[in-house]
Structure 1
Amino acid sequence: MQAIHWPSMYLPGTTDNFVSNEVIVRDLTVTELWAFLVDTSKWEGYYDNAANIVPEIKGDPVLHQGEHFRFDTFGFPIDAQVMELVEPLDDAVARIAWHGWQDGDENTRLDVYHAFLIERLSGNRTRVLTQESQIGVPAKEMSTQTPNPMLNGHQAWLDGLVKAAREAK
């Protein structure tokens, strides 16, 4: 199976918090899922933890390589930039990752790398993997919480993504 491409600064196990979530579903294609992941105008419809999304390109909610955008999530206002975007040509592996940050002092600054991978598996199955690596005091605090809010929040994102894609079929 495919894996996330990590910049060395965010390598899992070296940061203050890391979460990994995955679903494997039947009867949905990479392309069907991708449409709901890269279109930020759809996020609030299936993921309660994303709000106030502002893409850099006014009138175009679909994310593009290098694009900056803003959104609120987990109580943080996040500035972000798309660092990797590989569209699912012919339903092949798709990837999107962004660097996100919240400016602030040493106690409030947050720096994250959040990535999604969608790949076709045998037996009419599709795998969706999302992982996030975080640096900063807020990340350290979240890592000690049980249950981990990032783990549960990202699972809700995947579950909502799958549900929205199924309902659109």
Structure 2
Amino acid sequence: MNQIFWPEGYLPGFTENFASNEIIVAGLSAADIWPLLSNAPQWPTYYANSANVRFYDLKGPQLEDRRRFYFETFGFPVEAQCNEYVPPVHGRPGRIAWHGWAGEGDTRLDVHHAWLIEDLPGGRVRILTQETQKGKPAQALATAKPNPMINGHQDWLERLVSAARKTRQ
């Protein structure tokens, strides 16, 4: 199976926190998922842990490579820049990733959040999301029980699938 591409300094195991969530479902395709994920202002319509998405320089609503945007999640105001944007095509998975940051000094949090959307045999789609985090806030998130990143991202996956099913109907 395909995997996430990690930029230098964000390889899982070498950062303060890492979360990995995956879902494989039948009856949907990467083409069903992609429009909901690549259009960031739509996130709050199906995922309650995202809010106030906006773009800079009169850009958007689609993510694109190098595109700057802002959103709020997990109680953090996140500045972000998309650093990977590859729409899915037959035989090749879709990929979206961004570097996000919040805070300064001891409150600084840096993340690399990546998505892989891949068609599988039998009319199935695989959606993988992984995030590495650096900084003191990441250390606290890594030890929190229950794990807010794992639970929050699983909710995002499940609601993304639900929204895609509704859109397909």
Aligned to 1:117: 116
Aligned to 2:152: 153
Instruction: Confirm or deny: 8 A CA contact 2:41 2:54 kept in the other structure.
Output: no
Q: Percent of counterpart pairs with the same letter? A: 50
Cα gap change, 1:91 to 1:27, in 2 (>3 Å):
farther
Q: Which runs of no fewer than 5 residues in structure 1 stay unpaired?
A: none
| In structure 2, distance between residues paired with 1:7 and 1:89 | 23
1:139-158 Cα distance to aligned partner (Å, 9 max, x none): 10010011110000000110
Counterpart AA for 1:159: E
Q: How far has the Cα of 1:59 moved from its partner?
A: 6.3
| In structure 1, distance between residues paired with 2:91 and 2:35 | 12
1:113-146 Cα distance to aligned partner (Å, 9 max, x none): 0000010111111100000000011110010011
SS in 2 for 1:66: coil
| RMSD over equivalenced CA pairs, Å | 1.2
Aligned to 2:137: 138
Aligned residues: 168
TM-score (norm 1): 0.96
1:22-53 Cα distance to aligned partner (Å, 9 max, x none): 00011111011001001112100110010011
Cα gap change, 1:125 to 1:54, in 2 (>3 Å):
same
SS in 1 for 2:9: helix
TM-score (norm 2): 0.96
Q: Which runs of no fewer than 5 residues in structure 2 stay unpaired?
A: none
Q: How far has the Cα of 1:58 moved from its partner?
A: 2.9
1:71-124 Cα distance to aligned partner (Å, 9 max, x none): 010000000000001011237310000000013122x10000000001011111
Instruction: Write out the 4+ residue segments of structure 1 that deviate beyond 2 Å after TM superposition.
Output: 56-60, 89-92
| In structure 1, distance between residues paired with 2:134 and 2:85 | 22
